[in-house]
Amino acid sequence: MPEPLKSLIVVSEAPVRIAARDFVSWVASELELTAGEATDRVRAVFDVLHEAVTPGEFHDVLAQLPSGYAELVPALADRQR
């Protein structure tokens, strides 16, 4: 990962589980966005990740997240509608 992004990543000893809506709120706060703007950006990141890795790898990522995150994945949210 290129600098300065690499220096912004915080590695912790133990994972911290955070609900999807709390994560979106955190993104909104950190980036000074509205909740809607933060949701759009989180969805965009998941969309890029979904396209960048294999379906199995993407499933492994989602399996480690609380269930609410599936609603933030455009490809999955469209199927649920």
Given a cut of 50, whether residue 36 has pLDDT beyond it is yes
Structural domain of 58: 17-80
> What backbone torsions phi and psi does residue 32 show, to the nearest 5 degrees?
55, 55
Specify if 10 maps to a domain: no
In the chain, how many domains are there?
1
Given a cut of 50, whether residue 81 has pLDDT beyond it is no
Specify if 75 maps to a domain: yes
Specify if 6 maps to a domain: no
Specify if 3 maps to a domain: no
Specify if 61 maps to a domain: yes
The predicted structure's pLDDT at residue 44: 94
Q: How far apart are CA 19 and CA 10, in angstroms?
A: 19
Structure confidence by residue, pLDDT tens digits, 5-28? 778 787 878 878 899 999 999 999
The predicted structure's pLDDT at residue 14: 83
Percent of the chain predicted with pLDDT > 70: 91
Given a cut of 70, whether residue 61 has pLDDT beyond it is yes
Name residue 20's amino acid. Answer: A
Specify if 54 maps to a domain: yes
Specify if 24 maps to a domain: yes
